[in-house]
Amino acid sequence: MRANKLPTEEIRREPAAFADRITADGRFGRTAEPGRYRLVISRACPWAHRVVMTRRLMGLEGAVSLAVTDPVQEIIEDDPHWVFTERTGSPDGRDPVLGIHALREAYLARDPGYDGGVSVPGMVDVPSGHLVSNDYDQLSVDMATEWGPLAREGAPDLYPVALREEIDTVSARVYQDLNNGVYRSGFAPDQDRYDRAVAAVFARLDALEERLTDRRYLVGEHITLADLRLWATLVRFDAVYHGHFKCNRRKLVEYPALWAYARDLFQTPGFGDTTEFEHIRVHYYRVHTAINPTGVVAVGPDPRGWLTEHGRESLGGSPFGEGSPPGPAPEDERVPPLAEQG
């Protein structure tokens, strides 16, 4: 939907416009090759954040380069577009690898007649400039399972075969009620639909609080894609969803187990070190002019609470299972220290 237009019906997410799959064996037509693809993301977007976390945990930074758009979309022909600016390292307003100003150019390179929406993440084929996929879930699944020898030694199994059914079931419920539910609340066109959406948000949070009271991770004994999918929403909850999207029955910090779980993951490599609260706040409060017409950006909450002790180790399990943590993020991808993000 157009963020600067008043909603007239409940928000609905369209299927991915392009969903080519990239695998080690190329069985779907595209082969995982180092340097071949560039991942375009916004650090504000929870759907893109899932893929960034997967890429980091799997150690694919050297295989797939990263392009970060400005958190404030540019209005082009009355539509908001993800663009490159000096704020994100593109002084001339063009991505230094792809040579484009707006991600939409990669969509049009793939299909000159494309007239649909443009979303992040976008995986782009560098030689042709064509968009390969904007399917955030499939991109995450394939990066976790299909990139073979390009993944780092010690990469965790984020989508274990024995747990896939449970991961998918849990993730589907979280998506319906929470990941997408916060948007259905924030962009609700009337009171009745807001009431239904926000009730589902907190019913799901209540259920997750109970589930995570005596288990460290959502499914199994280590981090899986289910945790990435949930956490991308939790890390944004108090900063933007609570106030901006009117999901204000309770804050995340008022859920003892969920807040401790969220802090546990924030302090795990791949999570907090891919999070930039300034981009999150600026995007939501500046872009969604239909629900925040002044564009005033809220100042809080103070992000330093994410570094407080969580005590979740006592529940057992380990973040990476039989694997190991990733090393430091590449220097050109590091987010500002947390003290500078508040």
Q: What is the pLDDT of residue 12?
A: 73
Tally of CB atoms within 10 A around 160: 18
Judge if pTM exceeds 0.85. Answer: yes
C-alpha span between 179 and 186 (Å, rounded): 12
C-alpha span between 305 and 140 (Å, rounded): 28
CA 160 to chain centre: 21
> Beta partners for 30?
22
Tokens of 83: 């663009």
Q: What is the pLDDT of residue 232?
A: 98
Q: What is the pLDDT of residue 7?
A: 60
Q: How far is CA 314 from CA 214, 215, 223, 304, 318, in A?
A: 10, 10, 16, 23, 10
161-340 CATH pick, 3.40.47.10, 1.20.1270.360, 3.40.190.10, 1.20.1050.10: 1.20.1050.10
Taking the chain (342 residues) in runs of 10, the rounded mean pLDDT of each run is 57 86 97 98 98 98 98 91 94 96 98 96 98 98 96 98 98 98 97 98 98 98 98 98 98 98 98 97 96 96 96 97 97 91 77
The SS3 call for residue 322 is coil
C-alpha span between 297 and 240 (Å, rounded): 10
Architecture of domain 22-150: 3-Layer(aba) Sandwich (3.40)
Q: What is the pLDDT of residue 8?
A: 60
Q: What is the pLDDT of residue 29?
A: 97
Tokens of 36: 């071949």
What one-character-per-residue DSSP string does 52-110 give?
HHHHHHHT-TTTEEEEE--SS-EEETTEEE-B--GGGT-TTSS-TTT--SBTHHHHHHH
Q: What is the pLDDT of residue 9?
A: 66
Residue type, 204: R
Residues 253, 243: contact at Cβ < 8 Å?
no
CA 153 to chain centre: 24
- Kindly report, as residue ranges, where domains of CATH 1.20.1050.10 are found in the chain: 161-340
C-alpha span between 187 and 337 (Å, rounded): 32
CA 23 to chain centre: 21
Burial 213-223 (b: 16+ CB within 10 A, else e): eebbbbbbebb
Q: What is the pLDDT of residue 10?
A: 72
- Kindly report, as residue ranges, where domains of CATH 3.40.30.10 are found in the chain: 22-150
Q: What is the pLDDT of residue 221?
A: 98
Q: What is the pLDDT of residue 36?
A: 98
Residues 103, 81: contact at Cβ < 8 Å?
yes
Tally of CB atoms within 10 A around 21: 17
Q: What is the pLDDT of residue 2?
A: 45
Which residues are marked as active site? 45, 183
